[in-house]
Amino acid sequence: MNEPTADLNHPQLPRRPLGPPLSEPSCWHDIRVTVNGAPVCAQVESRLLLVDFLRHRLGLTGTHVGCEQGSCGACTILVDGVGVRSCLTLAVQADGSDVRTVESLAESGELNRLQRAFHEEHGMQCGFCTPGILMSMTALEESSEVIDDDAIMEHLGGNLCRCTGYVNIRNAARRACLRERSRPVDEGADRDA
Amino acid sequence: MTPEEEGPAPFIGRSIPRVEDDRLLRGQGRFIDDLQIEGMLEVAFLRSPVAHARIHEVDLTAAAGLPGVVAVYNAAALVGRVEPLLNSEELRIPEGIRSTIDPVVRIQPMPLLASGEVNYVGQAIAMVVAESRYLAEDALEVIDVRYDELPAVIDPEAALEEGSPRVLLEAEDNIGIHLEHGTGDVDQALRSAAVIVEDTFASQRYVPSPMECRGIVAHRDPFSGRLTVWSNTQTPHRVRGHIASCLGLPADDVHVVAVDVGGGFGQKGILVVEELLIPLVAQDLGRPVRWTEDRQENLTAGSHAREQIHHITAAADESGRLLAVRDRFVVNLGARNMVGLVVPYNSLCHLIGPYRVPNVQIEATGALTNTMFTSPYRGAGRPEATFAMERIMDRLAAKLEMEPAELRARNVVTPQEMPYQTGLLDRRGLTQQYDSGDYPEMLDRAVKMIDLPRVRTEQQKARVDGRYVGVGFAMYLEATALGPFEGAKVSVLPSGRIRIHTGAPSQGQGHRTTFVQIAADALGVEMGEIELVAGDTATIPFGVGTIASRALVTAENAIHQAAVLVRQRILDSAAELMEVDPADLEIADNQVVVKGSPGSAMSLAELMRAIPMTQGGSGRDGLSEVSYFQPPNYATSSGLHAVVVEVQPATGRVEILDYVVVHEAGRIVNPQIADAQIVGGTAQGIGGALLEHMQYDEAGQPVTSTFMDYRLPTVDTVPDIRLAEVVCPSPTNALGVKGLGEGGAVGPPAALANAVEDALSPFGVVIHSCPLTPDRLWALLRAGRATER
Ligand code: FES
Ligand code: FES
């Protein structure tokens, strides 16, 4: 419990392409990014995907790859506060930006309200899609958009989940994001036993 | 003794929040692609771009010379080293089936890498091992293969025609399976029937599509010299057995660990060639090796499912009582028969479902085609059979001008008839017997929940306004608790905590919660003191796995048995040390306490410490027990889906107005988790009913190889689903539980097709297959309108 998120300045994390690199040194770039609040400087090859940079160079494996085709949303992260598919983004494109991943959510060590809602509403089964969904919802929460049911449905529309059938995901998202309401608008899977 | 007589069970039956969530919510799951081992190599496969061809020399020279490439393999590199893959467990034909039915089952083992011939797009031809996946994929580009294309056969019925080109050059024809089975005399029954309906109903090809693709890591441990394999498999012990025999190692020297798994649904329940090749490479190179399947590989070369065509006939008397069912169906096996009778026989023995049918005749044929092979996917033959049976029931109701729910009510087996024998053989080749269920009650509940009379009134009113509303039902059974066994080891640890080991891992089902609920009840300790390790072959000698809606029944009963034994051992050895009668002791708060005098107590940790210091005694073998549970019969769960839809004739769009599932799965361990399993399965079924369709063109090219084309349900596809539950505890096991993992996926295609057809009955539309996409419905409507004129 309460494991700190990976120490991004740990000396053992590779800062440079490991041999053999993915491309000639002429195609390497120095990037500076803030990842979950920590400044990171690294050298990356031009074709390195942002998701691979996060997962395999920085060890932040909470961001998942479900398709590498931009269609499942499992790899969703926040870049400068906006939800982005890290499988369709090159690491070099993140230069100068603020990147946040699922590992940043339980800031205080405790699960945040959104995470708690997914637990309480059983909004996850295998949990593979969950980080992407949490980040899509975080993007909504932090945006200036009016958060109503349509906005929630719209933001969840880009994330695939194969396990839950979405009913409990909707309930969790509503519970966390529709602040003024204590219960989700829709009762979802009513029991009539 | 039934569980009720043991007194109140505190954990079973409660919606205990899941213990697995915390890690996953923090992004600290450990899925296969998250493992990081110093020096790990990555693998990429060259796969066939054509459906059928002879291949000539696979030239690896250029690839081998590229930067970062460590090794390259083609079929020639494997000659004399490894045998082609056979899923031996699935291919065994039970004695009763062999002697009574004598099926034709021809097996075509899968070469680990294609040699001489490729039979489907996606078949592995060569393998590159490199320092990273990027570099491995680069090397694929320069591998030279010459293909001499051969005719490809894609349609399963065309494949069975006389003179069809052969799918596999060395096979004598394109038949993988053929069998006939039945009861009574169908011809005789047809002669006396008042009504006969016949039609063709087909299920399309699906891809199970877990959100995490397959993956495997293998590493020869330098300390022990043993091979450790991490796999996102549903069946780790089977994987261990296959790897060991493939590499010629003793099974004890292969250690398979199932890590966090991002959904399985059957696709991760059968062995694939990659699961043998990666360990082989790790042995060869002495370095850790990983293969992570990408989505395109998963959609085209991960196993497919469903695709069946049923030509079905049903006969009834004038009051609608079923007299006979005849079904002739064809299963598209794909390029090889990889899982034998599993799916066709499952379709066969689930076809008549909850209905009393005195005369049944079923003929099943498995056809080979130049497509990806098919294997069990959530439901495994049941959705296809249910689609045929429940569609023909509605055709029969239409012919009799009877309310479909009423027709069903007249034909369902009643609780008084339980245990009910169908006259057929089950999958084990023994007399098929439903252990328990209350199908009339389920129907009653569903009819009330959707308020059928009101729906019918509104349907009439809506039609006046040019709106088309329809209602559909689908009933099905699910024989759960497939054998032969599952095991559990329950141990008290030195700290006094309890650890459970079992061979059935979780792919999201929440075993760490539900299995622990059962153990906590049996032991009398708090759930927080118990942890579950599932799917690690080093910790329990034998296991089967989490497939076929079996884990909860088989593993939980094994856990229950072992925990009851451990509890007795705890009491006996504590009694000896405390010099009291074991009957005077109880376990409370992780302590063994003398009943009525809470002062005299011994903690489990103290007990553990005392055991090695004590000669002899009940505790001398430690406080640990292994138990295996062999289900004596299937535990038969059941379900009923009732759905109300509105269809827009102008666009062919289907809107779900109400969706009700009534299910019966014995005693429920954790209602929240059980409900979520039903809803999740139902969503997959709705996906198949409305969207999902894995398609090939005539040349055998897969045309739906991304999630843009193979369309999974999204948040707005799946409506809120209203659930109701009927409980008939299973007499087949001490806990009274039944499996329910697959059920939800079985009903939706039939229920939705029935509802859509009902909505469009003024247009004379008949639905023969899914998905019910707007363009397909629109085409049917146009054809219907044309015949009307
Ligand atoms: S992995 Fe990026 S959208 Fe699927
Ligand atoms: S919980 Fe498994 S994919 Fe969403």
CA B391 to chain centre: 23
CA dist., res. B398 & res. B401, Å (int): 5
Question: Which of A59, A103, A193 is nearest residue B26 as measured by Cβ atoms?
Answer: A103
Segment B573-617, tens digit of pLDDT: 899 888 899 999 999 888 899 988 878 899 999 998 888 887 777
Q: Where does a domain end: B578, B597, B629?
A: B629
| Residues B731, B600 within the same domain | no
CA dist., res. B556 & res. B669, Å (int): 10
pLDDT of B504: 83
Residue B508 near chain A (CB below 8 Å): yes
Cis bond upstream, residue B94 (ω within 30): no
- Picking from B660, B667, B629, the residue whose alpha carbon sits closest to that of residue B744 is B660
The count of structural domains within chain B is 4
In a domain? residue B291: yes
In a domain? residue B596: yes
Output the CA B652–ligand 2 centroid distance in Å.
30
Residue B671 near chain A (CB below 8 Å): yes
Residue span of the structural domain in which B199 resides = 151-207+304-413
Output the CA A70–ligand 1 centroid distance in Å.
4
In a domain? residue B220: yes
User: Are A128 and B29 inside 8 Å of each other by CB?
Assistant: yes
pLDDT of A183: 44
Stretch 121-140 of chain B: residues touching chain A, C-beta under 8 Å: 131-132, 134-135
* Residue range A59-85: mean pLDDT, rounded: 97
CA dist., res. B321 & res. B328, Å (int): 22
Helix (H, G, I), strand (E, B) or coil at A121: coil
Instruction: Say if residue B377's pLDDT is above 90.
Output: yes
Q: Where does a domain end: B573, B605, B629?
A: B629
| Residues B568, B695 within the same domain | no
Within 8 A of A130 by CB-CB distance, chain B residues are 24-25
CA dist., res. B238 & res. B243, Å (int): 9
pLDDT of A12: 67
pLDDT of A191: 43
pLDDT of B619: 66
- Picking from B357, B306, B367, the residue whose alpha carbon sits closest to that of residue B327 is B357
Instruction: Say if residue A54's pLDDT is above 50.
Output: yes
Segment B10-50, tens digit of pLDDT: 898 999 999 999 999 999 999 999 999 989 999 999 999 99
Segment B622-679, tens digit of pLDDT: 789 998 989 888 999 999 999 999 999 999 999 999 999 999 999 989 999 999 999 9
pLDDT of B295: 97
CA dist., res. B237 & res. B485, Å (int): 12
Residue B21 near chain A (CB below 8 Å): yes
CA dist., res. B100 & res. B94, Å (int): 10
Q: pTM here? A: 0.94
| Residues B126, B231 within the same domain | yes
CA dist., res. B322 & res. B393, Å (int): 9
pLDDT of B510: 87
Instruction: Say if residue A126's pLDDT is above 70.
Output: yes
Within 8 A of B671 by CB-CB distance, chain A residues are 191, 193
Q: Which domains does chain A have, with CATH numbers?
A: 28-104 (3.10.20.30), 113-180 (1.10.150.120)
For a substitution probing ligand 1, which of A63, A64, A68 has the most ligand atoms within 8 Å of its CB? A68
Residue nearest to atom 4 of ligand 2 (CA): A161
Within 8 A of A18 by CB-CB distance, chain B residues are 131
In a domain? residue B546: yes
In a domain? residue B98: no
The ipTM is: 0.94
pLDDT of B7: 46
Query: B357 or B569: whose pLDDT is higher?
Result: B357
- Picking from A133, A112, A111, A138, the residue whose alpha carbon sits closest to that of residue A123 is A133
User: Are B212 and A131 inside 8 Å of each other by CB?
Assistant: no
User: Are A167 and B135 inside 8 Å of each other by CB?
Assistant: no
| Residues B404, B273 within the same domain | no
| Residues B586, B612 within the same domain | yes
The CATH code of the domain that includes B528 is 3.30.365.10
Pocket of ligand 2 contains residue A129 by CB under 6 Å: yes
CA dist., res. B560 & res. B517, Å (int): 10
| Residues B733, B636 within the same domain | yes
CA dist., res. A169 & res. B715, Å (int): 9
Percentage of residues of chain A with pLDDT beyond 90: 74
Query: For all residues of chain B together, what is the average pLDDT?
Result: 93
In a domain? residue B3: no
Segment B134-180, tens digit of pLDDT: 999 999 999 999 999 999 999 999 999 999 999 999 888 999 999 99
| Residues B401, B488 within the same domain | no
pLDDT of B92: 84
pLDDT of B612: 83
Task: Look at the alpha carbons of B280, B283, B285, B286 in this order and tell me if their dihedral is positive or negative.
Answer: positive
Question: For residues B749-787, b (16+ Cβ closer than 10 Å) or e, as one string?
Answer: bbbbbbbbbbbbbebebbbebbbbbeeebbebbeebeee
Q: Nearest 5°: phi and psi at B174?
A: -100, 20
Structure confidence at residue A179 as a pLDDT band (50, 70, 90): low
Segment B425-472, tens digit of pLDDT: 999 999 999 999 999 999 999 999 999 999 999 999 999 999 999 999
Contact B323, B192 (CB under 8 A): yes
Residue A109 near chain B (CB below 8 Å): no
Contact B504, B482 (CB under 8 A): no
* Residue range A25-47: mean pLDDT, rounded: 92
pLDDT of B437: 95
User: Which residues, other chains included, contact B759 with Cβ-Cβ below 8 Å and sequence gap of 6+?
Assistant: B459, B468, B469, B470, B645, B646, B647
> What does the H/E/C string look like for B2-46?
CHHHHCCCCCCCCCCCCCCHHHHHCCCCCEHHHCCCCCCEEEEEE
Q: How far apart are the first and last CA of chain A?
A: 36
Segment B555-564, tens digit of pLDDT: 888 888 999 9
Segment B80-123, tens digit of pLDDT: 999 999 887 777 899 999 999 999 999 999 999 999 999 999 99
- Picking from A179, A188, A77, the residue whose alpha carbon sits closest to that of residue A134 is A77
In a domain? residue B83: no
| Residues B465, B501 within the same domain | no
pLDDT of B5: 45
CB pairs < 8 Å spanning A and B: 213
Structure confidence at residue B552 as a pLDDT band (50, 70, 90): confident
Task: Look at the alpha carbons of B32, B36, B37, B40 in this order and tell me if their dihedral is positive or negative.
Answer: positive
Instruction: Say if residue B397's pLDDT is above 50.
Output: yes
CA dist., res. B372 & res. B484, Å (int): 29
Instruction: Say if residue A82's pLDDT is above 90.
Output: yes
Separation in Å, CA A162 to CA A156, B211, B742: 13, 6, 13
- Residues paired with A31 in a beta bridge: A42
CA dist., res. B651 & res. B653, Å (int): 5
| Residues B316, B465 within the same domain | no
* Residue range A99-109: mean pLDDT, rounded: 94
Q: Tally DSSP H helices, then E strands, for chain A.
A: 5, 5
**What does the angle CA B281 – CA B284 – CA B289 come to, to the nearest 5 degrees?**
35
CA dist., res. B400 & res. B414, Å (int): 23
Structure confidence at residue B786 as a pLDDT band (50, 70, 90): low
Stretch 626-655 of chain B: residues touching chain A, C-beta under 8 Å: none
State the burial class of residue B744 (Cβ atoms within 10 Å of its Cβ: 0-12, 13-18, 19+): buried
CA dist., res. B490 & res. B626, Å (int): 7
Please state the atom number of ligand 1 nearest to the C-alpha of residue A72: 4
Structure confidence at residue A189 as a pLDDT band (50, 70, 90): very low
Estimate the crossing angle of helix B342-350 against helix B382-400, to 10 degrees: 30
| Residues B225, B195 within the same domain | no
In a domain? residue B351: yes
pLDDT of B91: 79
| Residues B552, B689 within the same domain | no
CA dist., res. B218 & res. B281, Å (int): 8
User: Which residues, other chains included, contact B31 with Cβ-Cβ below 8 Å and sequence gap of 6+?
Assistant: A61, A64, A128, B212, B215, B232, B259, B260, B261, B262
Instruction: Say if residue B777's pLDDT is above 70.
Output: yes
Within 8 A of B67 by CB-CB distance, chain A residues are 20
Instruction: Say if residue B789's pLDDT is above 60.
Output: no
Please state the atom number of ligand 1 nearest to the C-alpha of residue A88: 2
Q: Where does a domain end: B277, B301, B325?
A: B301
User: Which residues of B530-682 form beta strands (DSSP E)?
Assistant: 530-534, 585-588, 591-594, 597-603, 624-629, 635-648, 653-664
- CA distance, residue A63 to nearest chain B CA (Å): 7
CA dist., res. B758 & res. B657, Å (int): 14
| Residues B526, B577 within the same domain | yes
**What does the angle CA B240 – CA B241 – CA B246 come to, to the nearest 5 degrees?**
100
